[in-house]
Structure 1
């Protein structure tokens, strides 16, 4: 057997071991809140702290022994260095993922305690963090986006879409659409009673909340966000002959995954201003909680920013799950959306500017970070890594994407303040009535009322 064959067999074996060891670790399942807490909070006049303390989290047993699991990861790290070498590039990626899972187990051991927030910041970051190569913090970027998506024009074009589909009907429609993108049978859309959001992807499955109803717009978003990105990258990772660990994601890949999903919503014109604003509000909520705001204070902070009560509760719950409802120790994963969106866009623009657009499809290779791409691209050239099978059309033929980002780069040089000042004078006499083709009064025979 050649040295290359030995190396590839070792890489495959170690990758498979990684997948097996991390399998029982389910972060969100370990910090979920019961649905009845929502009603209890509103029954209290929105003034009582949810009962999410360390004792409550102890009542949610982990499906593994944290100390035993950490030792398994440490043993795997030693095996990686021994079999692949301390300086092997792919081995370093595998080791970084191993280190992350060790931190994850520490974070879950600290559920409901101060250290939970410390480990969350180490894994997902803080609202005070800065973007790669940028002087602005995530909070500053989030506030800028919130301002954009809160402008009068965003409300002006908004119109209600009827929630025509119950969960069962939505499951059937989404399954049919995604069967056109994936090989039939590779992805399952199912009903679930155990998720907080309306829908969530896990592995090769999209779960739909059995209590939710869905609009056509909701289904378009789920198709590209959960389907094309989250499930698509999982299945692409599973098709790797040797680097099979690319099918599972530690926290290090969260920002790129969520940012890419948000970018796909944007490129397919599936998103809408209120949804886009929601991700920036999460940054503000995390910042307020990191600064010591408790659950009630952060909830009312979001209400004051204009969020409806239900959305304010959901966002606040996402921030405080696993941490301390008294504040300071919180779950910072939701920074991933804004951070990942900006960094994915910056990566694409930089790859085009550097004359390396061929790197862009690597975003869909599996569960990766941007820093992984140079190493994985070299492994692709060496025949170790397979290119992504499931790839949205605009990433398969990069001409349109190149033009889109090319114009974006060019227009960024325009002084928009001066331009807007010019057009405001032109628009002064226009009555602000939204055209019918933009805000139809009827869809599918149903009368629509504009959003308040």
Structure 2
């Protein structure tokens, strides 16, 4: 049964709570708080390249977030209602979002200690979490993609083509593409030498890591992942008249956002087996760290898997952001890339099976979790939440998307372990 739309007074109350929420989380900055200085990274990469393996001397500044936590708890209480079973979907959205930010605040106030691990797992999951609809785990999937990439590696070497593109040249190219899609100057593209990731996106700015060269696959992934998901959903969220928080990535929507972004790479042909291996290796590395591996051991794992000195260091750094480097602790965010992809892919196929393609479009209306797209449907229907202004290129042709999903849904029933080679002959 669908929830009847809220009254004007209820909508106004929720909008006011949403504004309180945005004000409360202004000082909660997850990735900047756990980031490492670029100067330290450069120094340690040189040392590791010369075989001098020591634990990086990293220290953190702990933010003071007691006031934010108290306000978030008050918002949770105001949105919680007397009976959780009767809570309105808007209140439920606000309660869940406030709770996730409060957990993030707890995590950041423990930065530099092993106490970061538990809240990061609460927000982002852990490698051995089961995949929805499967008996296998995220870690099982990660190991599968790593093994497959290694098995195919020699066969795919000849497929590498194109000259690497420096960050400055890519910036100009991507900026022109985004001007044509969103309008001139809507999204700036900048080169940032302090950036740890290869690229990062906000609503109106995309940053590229300086001093880095990018492949043609990197360019496609940047557009599909950063621009046409992260920036696009932020811009659509900024247009929402009721819930302004839909423009900001709360911790609870991270898995959906990153899963959707990797799914976009898949649907637009922008992902390759090396990319799948890279995000899978990080999940194996998180599991290693949780089970006692220290920073150097995790670095050496990435190196043994074929990554360069710099990439191995950056990959290990992502696993140990905000936590001690001696082992037994991890920052679990990189768990969401593969787990999110698998869950979002399942959601898209489920929506097709339920004949609910409208849910897929609504997923781009802002920074939403999969749960929100379903529960907030009455407010999309009433117009209180607007449909997306922009959709990624691959979502603008729903017949083509439906064809891909329909094929995927059917083909999923074929059990590959039961297929014999002689059955694949066609004709007499």
TM-score in same-fold range (> 0.5)? yes
Is 2:10 aligned against 1:7? Answer: yes
After TM superposition, list the pairs within 5 Å mapping 1:25-40 onto structure 2.
25-38=28-41, 39-40=43-44
Deviation at 1:268, TM superposition (A): 1.2
After superposition, the Cα gap between the structure-2 partners of 1:186 and 1:18, relative to the gap in structure 1 and judged at 3 Å, is farther
What per-residue deviation string (whole Å, max 9, x for no partner) do you get for residues 105-139 of structure 1? Answer: 11111111111111111111111111223211110
**Of 73-82 and 347-356, the range deviating more from structure 2:** 73-82
Partner residue, 1:69: 68
Is 2:220 aligned against 1:220? Answer: yes
CA contact (8 A) 1:41 1:48 kept: no
* Structure 2 residues without counterparts, runs of 5 or longer: 1-5
After TM superposition, list the pairs within 5 Å mapping 1:91-170 onto structure 2.
91-152=91-152, 155-164=156-165, 166-170=166-170
Deviation at 1:195, TM superposition (A): 1.0
Partners in 2 of 1:195 and 1:420 — Cα distance? Answer: 49
After superposition, the Cα gap between the structure-2 partners of 1:200 and 1:155, relative to the gap in structure 1 and judged at 3 Å, is same
Partner residue, 2:350: 350
TM-score after normalising by structure 1 = 0.86
After TM superposition, list the pairs within 5 Å mapping 1:408-427 onto structure 2.
408-417=408-417, 419=419, 421-422=421-422
Partners in 2 of 1:283 and 1:372 — Cα distance? Answer: 26
Partner residue, 1:47: 53
After superposition, the Cα gap between the structure-2 partners of 1:146 and 1:381, relative to the gap in structure 1 and judged at 3 Å, is same
Partners in 1 of 2:302 and 2:362 — Cα distance? Answer: 37
SS at match of 1:191: strand
Partner residue, 1:447: none
CA contact (8 A) 1:138 1:338 kept: yes
Number of residue pairs matched? Answer: 417
SS at match of 1:118: helix
CA contact (8 A) 1:41 1:47 kept: no
TM-score after normalising by structure 2 = 0.90
Partners in 1 of 2:132 and 2:424 — Cα distance? Answer: 35
Is 2:238 aligned against 1:210? Answer: no
Partners in 2 of 1:294 and 1:5 — Cα distance? Answer: 55
CA contact (8 A) 1:161 1:217 kept: no
CA contact (8 A) 1:241 1:385 kept: yes
Deviation at 1:417, TM superposition (A): 4.4
Partners in 1 of 2:158 and 2:399 — Cα distance? Answer: 30
Question: What is the aligned counterpart of 1:16 among 19, 43, 58?
Answer: 19
SS at match of 1:150: helix
CA contact (8 A) 1:351 1:359 kept: yes
* Structure 1 residues without counterparts, runs of 5 or longer: 427-452
CA contact (8 A) 2:279 2:337 kept: yes
After TM superposition, list the pairs within 5 Å mapping 1:332-351 onto structure 2.
332-351=332-351
